[in-house]
Amino acid sequence: MTATVSNFYYGAVTPVTAYLMACLGAGLGLRCTTRSLRRPHRRAGWLALGAISIGCGIWTMHFIAMIGFSVQGALVSYDTTRTVLSLAVAIAVVAIGVFLVGYRGSSPVNLGVAGTVTGLGVAAMHYLGMAAIHTNGDLNYDTQTVALSVVIAVAAATAALWAAVSIHSLWSSLGASLVMGLAVTGMHYTGMAAVSVHVTGQAASSQSSTSLVSFLLVMLAGPLIVLLIAAVIVMFDPDMMLGDDERDRATAAPYGSGTGFPVQQPAPPSQPYTTR
């Protein structure tokens, strides 16, 4: 029997929260990448923090959205190992893309390679997370809808990596993060639209939806803490405290107006030499 599948069991709460987490991870990743370009001596550290932020944001978005996933006549649980592995995949593939554009630039070829690798990795994270589902039924996927979700993932990843090395101002980064969050969340729900479940047995009476939500909340705790730490680091960084304009003025203060060279201070007037 094919069961009725819903992705909005708790209404708009899960999709809105998932979208906001995707935006948070994208925004932190963009600001970290901006700092890596301004500080070459700390580039690897900032790129790593950016990759972790984006990866955790995408993964957190996915599993917050999955809280609203329900199958009529079946109870759902998750395999812990595959769930954690999907988090590692998300961070690893984002790191590949971020480090490629961070060190090799945003040429069309490099951006295309980095975006494709990252997008395919994000799609792999999504479907690995789906493979972690245990239920009294078989999950089936519509091939065309799955292919569409992969295309969206690649396009979203490419746009995100381009924005990471091309958009530097605070407000532009915030706007880009909203668009990126929409793209990543759209990829998730497109992938979920491909899912159908054929129930093959009775649900175990010992399971409950409350235990499922509790499991997902425990799994989400670690990435949420990481995102909080990343947010604190970014917020208290001098670039954020000053702002882009103030930082540029502070950097340019010892220099002549538009010359790029230090201002030459006039020497004090020489005193006439007198003898007694």
Average pLDDT of span 143-167: 91
Who contacts 52 (Cβ-Cβ below 8 Å, separation ≥6)? 91, 95, 226, 230
Q: Is the pLDDT of residue 191 over 60?
A: yes
* pTM, two decimal places: 0.80
Least confident of 9-13, 168-172, 270-274: 270-274
Cα 208 to the chain's mean position, in Å? Answer: 31
| Residue that has been written with the tokens 């790129």 in this structure | 47
Q: How many residues does the chain have?
A: 276
**Better-scored residue on pLDDT, 249 or 187:** 187
Q: What is the C-alpha separation between 28 and 234, in angstroms, rounded?
A: 7
Who contacts 89 (Cβ-Cβ below 8 Å, separation ≥6)? 121, 124, 125, 128
Average pLDDT of span 63-79: 86
24: pLDDT confidence band, cut at 50, 70 and 90? very high
Q: Tens of pLDDT along 87-99? A: 999 999 999 999 9
Q: Tens of pLDDT along 221-275? A: 999 999 999 999 988 877 654 444 444 444 444 434 443 334 444 555 555 545 4
pLDDT in the model for residue 135:
84
Q: What is the C-alpha separation between 78 and 158, in angstroms, rounded?
A: 30
Q: Is the pLDDT of residue 124 over 70?
A: yes
201: pLDDT confidence band, cut at 50, 70 and 90? low
